[in-house]
């Protein structure tokens, strides 16, 4: 009950100094009810959008392999990928660029999918893993692995490849459980979830800074580097966990698609339509947390991808909720494209996490300022 | 059941009429708080890596010939004085910010302000290569001002300041942006990282009294602005329309308030580094004690802030063993719990 009603905040004209009088009428956008009644009509568009996104992701990956200090052409890359190419080309493409681009694709897809799941689940575009604290939980876990690994660099390196994903997942799971449990008051209200997530994020970030302040300067530098979210120095070893999680979780998430669609109608209606609501929620949250933890442990927290990708996919597909596969693909495009942009076009090597934050934060701010009372219906 | 995000119960901020009895005992409460501050200060002088008895502390304070005098004057007095100053500044600034926004989650340390100050300070270390208190003060002031203006304008352009979610999200968005830019600078230069990572946790240890006079001046001016803003804060508590109807010049009230909040926050941040949650917690405790009248709320909140900060600092000294836990980290945990408790309270459930 709470979740349904809370998503329709009443407009409160003139409460703050800058608030505008009343909600603005939306433009010729189809209403949400329209989607629901003519749901099938839009399915075609979603399929087309997903296919286009797949092509774009492949293009971005090729661009990602081509971009960089040593010049390669697209035909060179394709030839090397299918087994040809010189020794040098094979080294650059297969050992240096391919793991990085693959990791970017997988991390972006995992973040996009996780964002789509939480946004749909909470029926609120602001409810992304970044904001509800899952990312900072994973970060705290990973940073404690980096910092507390003993200080010896070789020991840490061994532990990192094995332990970091596990500790990050643990941190994400514990945080998600705590935030979700604390927001529970006879139901989870999406705004309470978001606020408690923000509080949890502040606390976890504080503890993370403390760990960094207490660490050896080399560990601190490693942790700071990692916390920005970067694909540099990534190897095949860190690609596998993300791949495994993505392969396992994506089908499960897709199986929940119908339930997600139905649960948009509200808790009472979806229970009436035969959705086992609690089990559905638990599965969705677990999927989102595992995806986030896998992505964060591979590349560090790449901010705002989980927030922006589903929103872009939803707008392009003109659907009522973020389409899952398209969101994952848009996430992959953003991460790989941003990383390639940083390597190929911009001077120096800016970590991709900074690029996504610089692009994503203004988008979030714009969303806040533009939509007076309509956040929840985004 | 219609639920309004802005129904944040002005009663929570202006005081519950049922608690009228608080009015009579407000001077007593202030007095008790003053004694509480002194007692906490004494405890803060006594406790540390080694315990000094109260009599020895007092002897050391007034007689420089005593053995303990060097410890007391050398490390514990500066630390306690700084703690008092930072706590009072953040407590008053928090009460002002919550009064200005009518938002129970407003806190000068959260929501982008400290991220702005941090970013400016890192630029100072990176470009000018300096981290003296005076430079830090000016830079923190500039950064805090810009960030708070951005955060509050974003929230005001959206659903209004009194609704917690837009303010919190705007703060989160601006913080992420600033943190990303800060990390970019920090990563490209290890000396900046070395200075930044120590500064950013917010601590009272290792901060000397040198340059504090400048911060004290800033804080003093901020207090004057705060005092000048009290009547406007009481009017604003009734809502902007009513305040306007009462003859309140809204623009002036906002500007005076912003000046006070920024000056107080910046002087605290320059001394100790960013410390969150004091400005959130202190006004909530103070409001329970003295009610919502800002004549009483601002001083009470300042005193509560001082007590909270010193207590958390002492806790940090005790739980860490040899490597003490800085006050910013203690507060981040304590304050996080308070934050979540406020969000979970009945009234916030109507968000």
Q: What integer pLDDT is reported at residue A154 of this predicted model?
A: 42
Cα(A108)–Cα(A102) distance, rounded to whole angstroms?
Answer: 10
- Residue A289 in contact with residue A77, Cβ under 8 Å? no
Could you say which of 1.10.3470.10, 3.30.1370.60, 2.60.40.60, 1.20.120.1200 is the CATH number of the domain covering A59-369? 1.10.3470.10
Which residue does chain A place closest to B161, by CA atoms? A16
Q: What are phi and psi of A184, to 5 degrees?
A: -80, 115
- Residue A294 in contact with residue A306, Cβ under 8 Å? no
Give B276 to chain A, closest Cα distance, Å.
9
Cα(B92)–Cα(B226) distance, rounded to whole angstroms?
Answer: 8
Average pLDDT, stretch B151-168? 71
pLDDT at B5 over 70: no
Segments of chain B assigned E as strands: none
Mean pLDDT of chain B: 78
Q: What is each CA distance from A18 to A9, A32, A290, A378, B152, in whole angstroms?
A: 18, 28, 40, 22, 10
Contact B105 A195 (CB under 8 A): yes
- Residue A145 in contact with residue A226, Cβ under 8 Å? no
Quick check: B270 contacting A, CB < 8 Å? no
Q: What is each CA distance from A150 to A55, A138, A216, B323, in whole angstroms?
A: 45, 20, 10, 17
Burial A134-144 (b: 16+ CB within 10 A, else e): bbbbbbbbbbb
Nearest to A168 by CA among A141, A144, A148, A146: A141
Interface probe for A, chosen from B332, B341, B345 (most Cβ of A below 10 Å), is: B332
**Looking at beta carbons, which residues of chain A come within 8 Å of B345?**
none
The beta-carbon neighbor of A192 closest among B177, B187, B343 is B343
Cα(A49)–Cα(A46) distance, rounded to whole angstroms?
Answer: 5
Nearest to A128 by CA among B65, B176, B342: B176
Q: What is each CA distance from A375 to B6, B303, B351, in whole angstroms?
A: 14, 39, 13
Cα(A16)–Cα(B156) distance, rounded to whole angstroms?
Answer: 7
Least trusted range by pLDDT, from B7-21, B30-44, B261-275, B319-333: B7-21
Question: Check: CATH 1.10.3470.10 for B5-12+26-344?
Answer: yes
- Residue B270 in contact with residue B143, Cβ under 8 Å? no
Nearest to B287 by CA among B16, B8, B21, B54: B16
Least trusted range by pLDDT, from B93-102, B176-185, B308-317: B176-185
Give B58 to chain A, closest Cα distance, Å.
33
Hey, what long-range contacts does B246-253 have (CB within 8 A, 24 or more apart)?
B250/A17, B253/B229
Interface probe for B, chosen from A144, A209, A226, A349 (most Cβ of B below 10 Å), is: A209
- Residue B257 in contact with residue B145, Cβ under 8 Å? no
Only one residue has tokens 């989870």, namely A188
Beta bridge partners of A184: A188
Torsion of CA B137, B140, B141, B147, to 10 degrees: 180
What are the DSSP calls for B64-103, one per residue?
TTSTHHHHIIIIIHHHHHHHHHHHHHHHHHHHHHHHHHT-
Tens of pLDDT, residue by residue, chain A (378 residues): 334 444 444 444 434 444 444 444 444 444 444 444 444 445 678 888 888 888 888 888 888 888 776 677 777 777 777 777 777 777 777 777 888 889 999 999 999 999 999 888 887 787 888 888 888 998 898 888 888 765 444 444 555 556 777 888 888 889 988 988 888 777 777 778 888 888 888 889 888 888 887 777 777 877 877 788 888 777 787 788 889 999 999 889 888 877 777 777 777 777 777 777 778 888 888 899 899 988 888 888 888 888 889 988 888 888 778 888 899 999 999 999 888 888 877 766 788 888 888 888 888 877 777 654 444 433
Give A60 to chain B, closest Cα distance, Å.
24
Interface probe for B, chosen from A191, A208, A305 (most Cβ of B below 10 Å), is: A191
What are the boundaries of each domain within chain A?
A: 59-369
The beta-carbon neighbor of B333 closest among A203, A214, A373 is A203
- What SS3 state is found at A333? helix
- What SS3 state is found at B279? helix
Interface probe for A, chosen from B108, B151, B176, B330 (most Cβ of A below 10 Å), is: B176
Sort A195 into a burial class: Cβ within 10 Å, 0-12 / 13-18 / 19+: buried
Contact A19 B153 (CB under 8 A): no
Greatest alpha-carbon pair distance for chain B in Å reads 71
What are the boundaries of each domain within chain B?
A: 5-12+26-344
Where residue B181 falls among pLDDT bands split at 50, 70, 90? confident
Q: What are phi and psi of A188, to 5 degrees?
A: -105, 120
**Looking at beta carbons, which residues of chain B come within 8 Å of A361?**
173-174, 176-177, 180
Q: What integer pLDDT is reported at residue B10 of this predicted model?
A: 43
Q: What is each CA distance from A121 to A4, A279, B107, B344, in whole angstroms?
A: 12, 13, 30, 20
Rg of chain A on CA atoms, in Å: 21
Q: How wide is the angle at C-alpha A301 spanned by C-alphas A298 and A305, nearest 5°?
A: 105
Could you tell me how far CA A369 lies from the centroid of its own chain? 23
Nearest to B166 by CA among B175, B177, B157: B157
Contact A15 B240 (CB under 8 A): yes
Q: What integer pLDDT is reported at residue A85 of this predicted model?
A: 72
Structure tokens that stand for B60 in this block = 């050391």
- What SS3 state is found at A253? helix
**Looking at beta carbons, which residues of chain A come within 8 Å of B326?**
210, 213
**Looking at beta carbons, which residues of chain B come within 8 Å of A303?**
176, 180
ipTM: 0.73
- What SS3 state is found at B130? coil
A279 contact partners, CB below 8 Å, separation of at least 6: none
Q: How wide is the angle at C-alpha A323 spanned by C-alphas A318 and A324, nearest 5°?
A: 165
Rg of chain B on CA atoms, in Å: 20
Q: pLDDT digits over B230-255, tens only?
A: 988 888 888 777 888 887 787 888 88
């Amino acid at each position: 009950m709470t979740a349904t009603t809370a998503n329709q905040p009443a407009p409160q004209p003139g409460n703050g100094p800058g608030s505008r009088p009343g909600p603005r009428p939306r433009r010729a956008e189809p209403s949400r009810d329209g989607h629901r009644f003519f749901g099938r009509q839009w399915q075609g568009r979603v399929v087309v959008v997903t296919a286009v996104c797949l092509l774009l992701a492949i293009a971005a990956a090729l661009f990602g392999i081509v971009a960089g200090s040593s010049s390669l052409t697209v035909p060179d890359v394709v030839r090397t990928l299918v087994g040809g190419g010189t020794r040098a080309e094979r080294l650059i493409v297969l050992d240096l660029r391919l793991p990085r681009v693959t990791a970017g694709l997988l991390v972006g897809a995992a973040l996009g999918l996780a964002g789509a799941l939480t946004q749909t689940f909470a029926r609120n575009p602001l409810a992304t893993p970044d904001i509800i604290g899952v990312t900072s939980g994973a970060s705290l876990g990973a940073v404690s692995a980096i910092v507390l690994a003993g200080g010896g660099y070789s020991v840490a390196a061994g532990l990192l490849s094995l332990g970091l994903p596990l500790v990050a997942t643990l941190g994400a799971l514990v945080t998600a459980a705590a935030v979700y449990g604390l927001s529970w008051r006879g139901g989870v209200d999406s705004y309470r979830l978001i606020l408690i997530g923000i509080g949890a994020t502040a606390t976890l970030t504080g503890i993370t800074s403390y760990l960094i302040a207490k660490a050896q300067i080399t560990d601190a530098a490693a942790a700071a580097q990692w916390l920005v979210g970067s694909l540099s120095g990534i190897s095949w070893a860190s690609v596998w966990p993300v791949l495994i999680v993505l392969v396992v979780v994506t089908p499960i998430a897709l199986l929940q698609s119908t339930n997600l669609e139905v649960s948009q109608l509200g808790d009472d209606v979806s229970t009436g339509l035969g959705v086992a609501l609690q089990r559905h929620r638990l599965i969705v949250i677990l999927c989102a947390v595992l995806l986030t933890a896998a992505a964060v442990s591979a590349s560090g927290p790449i901010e705002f991808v989980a927030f922006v990708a589903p929103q872009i996919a939803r707008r392009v597909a003109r659907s009522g909720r973020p389409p899952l596969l398209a969101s994952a693909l848009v996430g992959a495009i953003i991460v790989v494209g941003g990383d390639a942009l940083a390597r190929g076009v911009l001077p120096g090597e800016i970590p991709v996490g900074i690029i996504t934050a610089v692009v994503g934060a203004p988008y979030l701010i714009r969303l806040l300022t533009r939509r007076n009372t309509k956040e929840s219906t985004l | 059941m219609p639920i309004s995000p802005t129904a944040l119960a002005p009663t929570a901020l202006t005081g519950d009429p049922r608690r009228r009895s608080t009015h009579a005992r407000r001077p007593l409460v202030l007095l008790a708080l003053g004694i509480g501050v002194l007692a906490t200060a004494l405890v803060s002088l006594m406790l540390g890596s080694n315990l000094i008895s109260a009599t020895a502390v007092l002897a050391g304070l007034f007689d420089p010939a005593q053995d303990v005098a060097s410890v007391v004057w050398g490390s514990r007095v500066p630390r306690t004085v700084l703690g008092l100053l930072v706590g009072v500044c953040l407590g008053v600034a928090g009460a002002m910010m919550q009064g200005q926004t009518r938002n129970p989650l407003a806190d000068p340390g959260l929501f982008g302000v400290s991220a702005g100050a941090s970013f400016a300070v890192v630029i100072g270390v990176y470009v000018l290569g300096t981290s003296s208190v005076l430079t830090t003060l000016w830079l923190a002031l500039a950064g805090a001002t810009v960030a708070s203006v951005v955060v509050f304008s974003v929230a005001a352009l959206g659903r209004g300041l009194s609704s917690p979610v837009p303010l919190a999200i705007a703060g989160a968005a601006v913080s992420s942006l600033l943190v990303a830019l800060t990390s970019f600078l920090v990563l490209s230069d290890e000396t900046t990282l070395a200075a930044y990572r120590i500064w950013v946790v917010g601590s009272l240890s290792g901060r000397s009294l040198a340059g504090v006079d400048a911060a004290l001046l800033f804080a003093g001016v901020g207090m004057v602005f705060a005092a000048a803003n009290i009547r406007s804060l009481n009017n604003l508590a009734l809502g902007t329309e009513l305040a306007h109807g009462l003859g309140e010049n809204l623009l002036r009230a906002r500007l005076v308030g912003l000046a006070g909040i920024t000056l107080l926050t910046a002087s605290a941040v320059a001394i100790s580094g960013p410390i969150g949650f004091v400005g959130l917690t202190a006004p909530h405790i103070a409001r329970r004690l003295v009610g919502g009248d800002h004549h009483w709320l601002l001083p009470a909140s300042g005193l509560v802030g001082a007590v909270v900060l010193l207590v958390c600092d002492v806790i940090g000294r005790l739980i860490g063993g040899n490597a003490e836990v800085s006050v910013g980290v203690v507060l981040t945990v304590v304050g996080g719990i308070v934050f979540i408790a406020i969000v979970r309270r009945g009234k916030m459930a109507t968000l």
